[in-house]
Structure 1
Amino acid sequence: MNKKGQEHPGFKWGPFTSRLPGVHLQLKPSQHIQGALMLLATCGAVTPLVMQFFGVSFDIAWTVSLVMLFWVIAQTVIFGDPYAAGAITAGLPLTIVFMNTLTPGAEAIEGMIALFLVVIFLFLFLGITKLGETFNRFFPTAIKAGIIMGAAIAAFQSELDRLPSMPITLISAWVIVMLLMYSIPFAKLPDSKAKAIAGSNALLISFGGAGLIGWISGELTFEMSWGFFIPPVAETIATLSIWAVGLPSWEMIFTVLPIGIIIYILAFSDLLVANTLIKDADQARSDEKIDINPTRSHYILAIRNLGQLMTAGPLLWVHGPIWTGVQIFLIERYKKGRTVMDSIYSGPMNFYLLAIPLGLLMPVISFITPLFPVALSVTLLLTGFACAYVAMSMVKTNVSRGIALTIGFLTATYGAAWGMGIGIVLYLFLIGVKEENQAAKDEMNLKNEDPDSQISG
């Protein structure tokens, strides 16, 4: 337990601090099952995609997911960042677009390794030089909005393509999660314990509700298995790790460079969101000093992605700083005081702790495996919804909105290179080398001078 107003204790090593469960961090069993099931279902959602694109068995794909869970919890327990770690979810739709251009198997594996290496380099270089903010500012708001809009369009398109395979199940999941997370009428209901539980467990409820409806409709089938899952570690390393596959060609690295840059931009935006949330938590409680260090976060993200690559090979999504929904849920608990959550670091630890042990139990695996398509669909739907409203809120002028939408469609349809390339050209021609705020003023002045130029509705 930390002394009032001081940083939570742990083993310091370099810029990192390790805090062990049960030693530095209090165990809260009430959070273990809920968090573990949510993490397993969401992380496992890309397991079928790993099988599809990499041409591997379920056992290998599931082993890669379990390794990812280790690096996710390592962010808090081993390296000492206060965030509830996750993946760069907004990058997943764009990664799927890229994967669809490659031949399943060796070429797809090489492409994903190349993407990991590019992102690792960006995290390391921009962390060491502390140029992350400068790099992020280099891309005008309209272009960044277009990149985020591209993720939204790709996410929605992928789910529309998936819908015919299980329409009743997926629509049920969408309705439940959107109602609990974004419905204004639901938010206006009188506050109650049931409402709070439903809102904080929206993902789990949507998975469970859709699973029940899918089973009743016959779209989902559950077959119970017993025993333990023994990860084929040697086979996984021999099939997917960089030690066995080798380094990708320079041609592939240059091919993935635009999408790597986009994923870094998305990750930097996630870091800004994470820091805002943590600062809000820090202001709510004076009993603990929270150490926010963007440079350390860059190092951790580089290590997590490199660790994933070296221990089990690439996954379809890249390790990111925050799982936003879980982070918000944990911060709300943190604000209630030390009796509810002793430290900001104990929240992610307790939420994620049992994920790997439960992921080795065949009854759990057999129960959640049919829900993987539902989990992936809900993840992409929420990603698309959030990316869409974030992108639209970023741009303030009609020209910027048009550029953002154009970049979005090009990125989702033809890939990151086309989106970024044409987006930069459009920005230079239509806005010029100036700040977005100045462009907004110029557009407003033109409208005031020529009222007839506005489109009547």
Structure 2
Amino acid sequence: MLIKRKEGEIHPGFKWGPFTMRIPGVHLEITPSQHLQGGLLLLATCGSITPLAMKYFNISLEVAWTVSLVFLVWVIAQTVLFGDIYAAGAITPALPLTIVYLNTLTPGIEAIHGMIAISIVVIALFLFFGITRLGEKFNNVIPASLKAGIIMGAAIAAFQSEIGRLPTMPITLVTAWVIVLLLMFSIPFARLPDTKAKAIAGSNALLIAFALAGVVGFSTGEVTFDLQWGVFVPPIGEVFSTLSIWSVGLPPWEMIVSVIPIGFMFYILVFGDLLVAQTLLKDAEEARKDEKIDINMNRSHFVLAFRNLAQILTAGPMPWLHGPIWTGVQVFLIQRYKKGRHVMDSIFSGIANFYLLAIPLGLLLPVMGIIAPLFPVALSVTILLTGFACAYIAMSMVTNNISRGLVLMIGVLCATLGAAWGIGIGTVLYMLLIGKNKEDLPIVNDVKIKEEKIS
């Protein structure tokens, strides 16, 4: 029996501590129309990381796919088990910076330990800022140029990695890039008349890009499919022995200390995601008065700490960490949510239905046979979109030419030399070039005006 929400209240569920469990079919209405699209998109995007796991951790496709499915368990747990309000995802902007770090380590145990070390630092930061509630104060202390520089570093690292990947599947990757950028960011496309076809294309940009890239890749011979019937049996024992923290052990203390700057960079990126998520949800709340949206940033810190801790305890690390929001899906679901309760009963039910079928689909060999060859495409599109978005976000955070130049310099340092050098040199440059000036002033123009008055 479905437990209904009263008008204007928080959606019901089972309270436990600061969290709320909401079970599909009991607290959340089940709407199958969203299952297939969401499940396939989630699998393709999450599965995109498996080539990196195979490369850096020296593991098989079967092991990497199993860890991805476990990753999805803890993604779905954000809504069902913990009851946080966001459409969960990974810290995607951190992925290019993670790749830069992993490239400095030997594939295998050292890289696994490196990823566990980053996880430990980030978990500690989530818990510290969640308990002390100092996250917002810390974020306000960091100058905009430094934050923008870190984000620009993610953009530069992303573009570098994709330029290097292009020769492996040139026609397929370019096709996917053009389609997804056209449907998501094109101004001419946005100016076209608002039709149903346009709305469908815009809201399914990733899925369309993957599908057409698959057709083009198959036609050119860059992608081959191996379809088999049956059910995938996860190699739990192999996962445990090769990746689990219980088998590989904790990383050396020196390694944990060395990745602290990376952890702080990741936290800054996550806090930015949380602010974006809050803005999106407040906009949704204005459109729907029948549901009170419970936004709690401290709870989100604890949820992220527990999700990342559960990941390394149950299946080992992945080359990306659990993050608060999958922005593209969040935007898509909120647009549907705004249409009324008859379309989406609750923001929680929308998220749950979009994610619910991912794991069952991921256990079907025919689905794996279709999706697995497209993992390089999915990874490339994910990193490209991350780089594109990070670049324009970074530039929008500063308003004068000196800050823009500084942002680019910090970004290059972070992408090429690493987090410690980027933050260290960036801080020195900030003090020398900007100092105590307010970054929202047009500094270059102010200097010109003063020179004109003197002359």
Q: Does TM, normalized by the shorter one, top 0.5?
A: yes
> What does residue 150 of structure 2 align with?
147
1:78 maps to which residue? 81
The amino acid across from 1:46 in the alignment is I
**Structure 1 residue 348 corresponds to structure 2 residue 330:** no
Normalised to the residue count of structure 1, the TM-score between the two structures is 0.97
Q: TM-score when scaled to structure 2?
A: 0.98
Distance in 1, matches of 2:452 and 2:6, equals: 64
Matched, 1:403 2:393: no
CA apart distance, 1:452? 12
CA contact (8 A) 2:114 2:255 kept: yes
In the alignment, which of 80, 94, 97 is matched to residue 94 of structure 1?
97
Mapping of 1:126-205 within 5 angstroms?
126-205=129-208
What one-letter code is carried by the residue in structure 1 that aligns with 2:22? R
The answer to whether residue 24 in structure 2 is matched with residue 18 in structure 1 is no
Letter in 1 for 2:87: A
How far the C-alpha of 1:234 sits from its partner, in A, is 2.2
Indicate how the Cα distance of structure 1 residues 413 and 21 shifts in structure 2: closer, same or farther if over 3 A, else same: same
Task: Give distance in 1, aligned partners of 2:103 and 2:323.
Answer: 23
Question: Structure 1's 240 and 88: CA in aligned 2 closer, same or farther, altered over 3 A?
Answer: same
Q: Distance in 2 between matches of 1:442 and 1:303?
A: 44
Equivalent residue, structure 2, for 1:28? 31
Query: How far does the alpha carbon of each residue in 1:304-357 deviate from its partner, in whole angstroms, 9 at most, with x for none?
Result: 000001000010111000000000000000000001000010111000000000
- 1:295 to 2:289 alignment: no
- Percent of counterpart pairs with the same letter? 68
Gap change, CA 1:452 and 1:243, over 3 Å in 2: farther
Superposed CA deviations along residues 155-207 of structure 1, whole A, max 9, x for unmatched, are 01100000000000000000110111111111111111111100000000000
Give me the whole-angstrom Cα distance separating, in 1, the residues matched to 2:452 and 2:240.
65
Q: Distance in 1 between matches of 2:321 and 2:452?
A: 48
Point out where structure 1 has 5 or more consecutive residues left out of the alignment: none
Checking the alignment, whether the CA contact within 8 Å between 2:362 and 2:368 is kept in structure 1 is: yes
Q: Could you give the per-residue CA deviations for residues 115-157 of structure 1, whole angstroms, max 9, x where no partner exists?
A: 0000000000000000001111221000000000000000011
Superposed structure 1 runs of 4+ greater than 4 Å apart: none
Amino acid corresponding to residue 262 of structure 2 in structure 1: I
Partner of 1:449: 450
What is the CA–CA distance in structure 2 between the aligned matches of 1:195 and 1:332, rounded to whole Å? Answer: 14
1:419 is aligned to 422
Q: 2:162 is aligned with what amino acid?
A: E
Q: For 1:301, what is the secondary structure of its paired residue?
A: helix
Aligned to 1:387: 390
Q: Which residue is equivalent to 1:378?
A: 381
Give the Å deviation of 1:443: 4.1
Deviations 1:43-85 (A, max 9, x none): 0001011010000111111111000000001001110111100
User: Do residues 244 (structure 1) and 231 (structure 2) align?
Assistant: no
SS, match of residue 228 in structure 1? coil
User: What residue number does 2:276 align with?
Assistant: 273
State the Cα RMSD in Å.
1.2
2:284 paired with 1:284? no
CA distance in 2, matches of 1:435, 1:248: 42
Distance (whole Å) between structure 1 residues aligned to residue 347 and residue 228 of structure 2: 37
User: Which letter maps to 2:64?
Assistant: A
Deviation (angstroms), 1:444 = 3.4
Q: Aligned pair in 2 of structure 1 residues 388, 339: CA closer, same or farther (>3 Å)? A: same
1:214 aligns with one of 213, 217, 221 = 217
The total of aligned residue pairs comes to 451
DSSP 3-state at the match of 1:4: coil
Letter in 2 for 1:446: V
SS in structure 1 at match of 2:20: strand
3-state SS in 1 of match to 2:92: coil
Q: Which amino acid aligns with 2:297?
A: P
The structural deviation recorded for 1:425 is 0.5
Distance 1:195 1:426 in 2: 46
Report the Cα offset of residue 261 of structure 1.
0.6
Letter in 1 for 2:182: L
Q: What is the rounded CA distance, in whole Å, between the counterparts of 1:85 and 1:72 in structure 2?
A: 6
Give the C-alpha shift of residue 435 in structure 1: 3.7
3-state SS, counterpart of residue 15 of structure 2: strand
Contact 2:400/2:443 (CA < 8 Å) preserved in 1?
no
Report the residue type matching 1:172 in the other structure: T
Q: Which amino acid aligns with 1:393?
A: S
- Listed as ranges, the gaps of 5+ residues in structure 2 are none
SS of residue in 2 equivalent to 1:450: helix
CA distance in 2, matches of 1:243, 1:447: 62
CA distance in 1, matches of 2:90, 2:235: 24
Distance in 2 (CA, whole Å) between partners of 1:235 and 1:333 is: 41
Aligned to 1:322: 325
Letter in 1 for 2:399: K
Asked if structure 1 preserves the Cα contact closer than 8 Å seen for 2:153 and 2:413, the reply is: yes
- Distance in 2 between the 1:115 and 1:271 partners? 20
Shift of 1:436: 2.1
SS at match of 1:17: strand
For the 8 Å contact 2:180–2:206, the answer to whether it is kept is yes
For the residue of structure 2 that corresponds to 1:199, the secondary structure is helix
Tell me by how many angstroms 1:397 deviates.
Answer: 1.4
